[in-house]
């Protein structure tokens, strides 16, 4: 299945807040939040639906295809440590997500466009692969060209109030980001039950 390019509000209403997909919120989202605070539904939601919901939330937040997400689950399953936690670390350390978490792009699709158009340097070299896996001590900067720095500057100015996670450091003056260490579970920028995602794919095998 290809990457989703349809209405963002439709997915937000179905799955809840997806900060990586869009910064906007539908007008009726506040009413939905009030309904959610009233308590659990009187009927028990099917476990398959819960697993699918969490999988879709992960997929649309990070802007992945089903095949890409499946590949990440397989990689996480072969690595040391809890599969769900490793899966989130793999997704969070993608270059497009790092740009988004730094505030150098408003959304993950916006960050992907910056990378594809060769506006971003990693350790002084142009990287045009959004899925590039960043490592500790990697530096992410805007290309020296004027257009690249103007784009990043506009994004940084619009995200002044955005909190940069502890595993990253942002230098607004020089349009530079630094990866301090691999993110831990508490630093993930999405409310997600990753174990349900792993269960979903284990049932598909």
> SS3 string of the chain?
CCCCCCCHHHHHHHHCCCCCCCCCCCCCHHHHHHHHHCCCCCCCCCHHHHHHHHHHHHHHHHCCCHHHHHHHHHHHHHCCCCHHHHHHHHHHCEHHHHHHHHCCCCCHHHHHHHHHCCCEEECCEECCCCCCECCCCCEEEECCCHHHHHHHHHHHHHCCCCCCCCCEEEECCCCEEEECCCCCHHHCCCCCCHHHHHHHHHHHC
Section 117-123 average pLDDT:
94
User: 94-182: what fold?
Assistant: 3.10.290
Q: What is the pLDDT of residue 3?
A: 61
Q: What is the pLDDT of residue 181?
A: 96
Q: What is the pLDDT of residue 39?
A: 52
Average pLDDT over the chain, rounded to whole?
84
Q: What is the pLDDT of residues 39-84, one digit of tens each?
A: 555 556 789 899 999 999 999 999 999 999 999 999 999 999 999 9
The percent of residues in the chain predicted with pLDDT above 70, rounded, is 78
8-91+187-204 placed in CATH 1.10.1050.10:
yes
Section 133-143 average pLDDT:
95
Q: What is the pLDDT of residues 91-103, one digit of tens each?
A: 999 999 999 999 9
Section 142-163 average pLDDT:
83
Please state the domain extents for the chain.
8-91+187-204, 94-182
Q: What is the pLDDT of residue 35?
A: 47
Q: Indicate the pLDDT class of residue 21, thresholds 50, 70 and 90.
A: low
């Amino acid at each position: 299945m290809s990457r989703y390019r349809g209405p963002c509000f439709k997915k937000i209403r179905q799955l809840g807040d997806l900060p990586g997909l869009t910064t906007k919120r539908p007008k009726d989202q506040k009413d939905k939040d009030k309904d959610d605070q009233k308590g659990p539904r009187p009927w028990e939601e099917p476990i398959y639906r819960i697993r699918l919901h969490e999988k879709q939330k992960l997929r649309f937040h990070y802007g992945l295809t089903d095949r890409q997400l499946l590949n990440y689950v397989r990689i996480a399953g072969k690595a040391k440590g809890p599969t769900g936690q490793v899966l989130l670390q793999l997704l969070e350390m993608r270059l497009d997500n790092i740009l988004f978490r730094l505030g150098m792009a408003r959304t993950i699709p916006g960050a992907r466009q910056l990378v594809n158009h060769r506006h971003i340097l990693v350790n002084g070299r142009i990287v045009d692969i959004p899925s590039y896996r960043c490592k500790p001590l990697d530096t992410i900067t805007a290309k020296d060209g004027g257009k690249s720095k103007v784009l990043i500057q506009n994004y940084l100015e619009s995200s002044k109030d955005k909190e940069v996670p502890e595993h990253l450091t942002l230098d607004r003056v020089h349009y530079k980001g630094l990866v301090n260490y691999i993110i831990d579970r508490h630093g993930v920028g999405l409310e997600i039950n990753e174990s349900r995602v792993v269960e979903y794919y284990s049932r598909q095998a």
